[in-house]
Chain A
Amino acid sequence: MALIEVTGLQKTFEYTKKEEGLKSSFHSLFHREKLYKEAVKGIDFSLEKGEMVGFLGPNGAGKTTTLKMLSGILFPTGGQATVMGYVPWERKKDFKMRFAIVMGQKSQLWWDLPAVESFTLNRHIYEIDEAEYRKTLGELTEILNVEALMGVQVRRLSLGERMKMELIASLLHKPEVIFLDEPTIGLDFISQKRIREFLREYNREKQTTVLLTSHSIGDIEDLCRRTIIIADGTIVYDGELKKINSLFGERKRIQVSFETEEAAQRDLSRFGTVCSREGVQVVLEVKREDVREISRMILETLPATDFNISDIPVEEGIARLYTGRNSQ
């Protein structure tokens, strides 16, 4: 049986319509038109123990809402889900003892105190034995290289350092399932890299099941073999990230540089679809099976000075899925 099982999960939010201006604000004091937003529209997926899965989607696609339902923060409107055999929104204590959620935009640390005070609080919240706590804390602070920051107030830490402390606070009780909601948001490149390295290592060593949302394709590419993409409340892709472009047919990109701009302005449609034209450079999209023949034709008939063949970038495939252009 899968560790996380989601079947037909739905969430609809109720909200009220608000027209522009003060007059409508007065009007809404007495009359409000109710509207409904289907944030999650009956999604299905499952995760096995030890899997680390990326959960991608544009803003408002339903990623965080799904994570909040799986961690018991929100009640669903319909459907079923179990995490380690528990129904999350029943909010049983045993369930809460076995999972963690880290939200990149929310903090569980006491702002004015060193993070270690929040760790002590979590030790008691999660009923962790003193010796075990010391051992785990020692390991985590060493791996994340924050031993020297244990006496520094949270408000004085950089964003990257704070995120490391958030991770420690969430991992002290050795959760079997971790939900990570944009853990690298706002971090610089180096901090992102370090957090990713830590998560990869932690998952490998502890066999923790991780569901990770991020807007950074780098996070997902680096950490997750499997990616679930959600757009407008519906799952539009579930598989390996690098295979995403196979959805759009087997196509390749040919980038050609010409001697002059005039040469680059010629009609090249007989070779393939022109994706972009910039100065002396043109990018064409062609069918994979035609690459060899078209390359030969270009080199023989056109004054090309440079030539490069590549896959369609993953980001573009994802963007197509986000905007619902997967039929192209």
Chain B
Amino acid sequence: MKEIKKHLILWGLLIHNSLMSQLEYRANFFTGIAMELGYFLAKIVYMIVIYKTGVPINGLTPDEVLVFFGTYMIATGPYAGLYMMNLFDVGRQVQTGDLDLLLVKPVSLQFMLTLKRSDLSIFTVDVLLGIAAVTVGLVRMAVPVGLLDMLGYLGFLLSGSLIAYSMFLLPQVLAFRLVKTNSLAGLVDSSWDFNNLPMGIYSRLVQQIGVFVLPIFVITNFPALFLLHKMEPLYAVWGIAGPFVWFLLTSFLFRLGLKHYQSASS
């Protein structure tokens, strides 16, 4: 418990330092926000098309699709704002030996390596826009949302984030052996966009793979399915157990991979 508290305080400090570092470069800070808004606008085009045609997608009304889309934006906040930039940097740190000074610190290396930097502007923009989209969808449907719905939704968002973190960290573990893994990281990153529409649009086989093998759909589809009361019981169980399975597996492989770390000549 003491260690968890220590790491949470450290995470707060790391976010605080990252934000201060970002604010040092004002132009870059505001450009980052503009870029994220542009990303949102590019994505919202799908929604405009869906509303214009008014055709249900696999039984989902445009308002329901908007809830899925908003959930996707909320989940993109922690992904793009809190850890993805660190995961992309793992290969460089292994290649240059910058990992050395993190390895000697009395804290979890996986924690320091994957959460050291953050971009609070991306996080805030994505989460706020996502909440707005979900709220509009729910209001238009006039669906009553109780406390249990809210807690469940948040819980599945958290478990989705944990599964996303574990799943996207996995290819980076190979950096300890292969050193340079940015192409692989890019390949995995591109799978993120499978998430911006309901998984119902894919075939049953693709859905099963995307839920149980490479659980990309667990990340954003599960919270929305829960909120819209469309979740299958098996999915609910997997939505709770899956993140722990993936997190433990990735952490184990991370520690195993670390044994291959060769540093770099100085």
Contact = CB atoms under 8 A, between A and B. Distances in A.
Interface of A: 13, 60, 64, 68, 71-75, 91, 93, 96-97, 99-101, 103, 105-108, 110-113, 117, 120-121, 124-127, 153, 181-182
A73 B100 contact: yes
A121 B100 CA distance: 17
B6 A64 contact: no
14 contacts: A64-B265, A73-B104, A96-B105, A100-B104, A101-B101, A103-B266, A106-B101, A106-B266, A110-B21, A117-B20, A121-B17, A125-B105, A126-B106, A127-B106
B21 A96 contact: no
A72 B104 contact: yes
B261 interface: yes
Interface in B214-266: 259, 261-263, 265-266
Nearest to B106: A96
B266 A13 contact: no
Contact of A68 (B24, B25, B100, B107): B100
A61 to B, nearest CB: 12
> A68, A97, A117, A120: which has the most chain B beta carbons within 10 Å?
A68
A101 B103 CA distance: 11
B104 A96 contact: yes
B105 A113 contact: no
Contact of B101 (A64, A75, A103, A126): A103
Interface stretch (B8-16, B51-59, B134-142): B8-16
B98 interface: yes
B210 interface: no
Interface residues of B, number: 25
A97 B98 CA distance: 20
Given A106-B97, A112-B21, A112-B24, A124 B10 contact: yes
A106 B100 CA distance: 9
Interface string B46-69: 000000000000000000000000
Given A71-B104, A93-B106, A106-B101, A64 B10 contact: no
A113 B101 contact: no
A125 B14 CA distance: 11
B106 A101 contact: no
A72 B97 CA distance: 14
B5 to A, nearest CB: 10
B103 A73 contact: yes
A123 B88 CA distance: 28
B24 to A, nearest CB: 5
B101 to A, nearest CB: 5
Residue among B10, B13, B100 facing the most chain A CB atoms (10 A cut-off): B100
A39 B118 CA distance: 38
B266 A105 contact: yes
Interface centre among A117, A181, A182 (most CB of B within 10 A): A117
A91 B258 CA distance: 11
Nearest to A213: B266
A96 B112 CA distance: 15
Contacts of B9: 124
Identify which of B6, B13, B24, B266 gathers the most chain A CB atoms within 10 Å of its CB: B266
A274 B10 CA distance: 65
Given A96-B105, A103-B100, A113-B20, A74 B13 contact: no
Contacts of A110: 17, 21
A85 B119 CA distance: 42
Contacts of B103: 72-73, 91
Contacts of B265: 60, 64
B99 to A, nearest CB: 8
Contacts of B104: 71-73, 96, 99-101
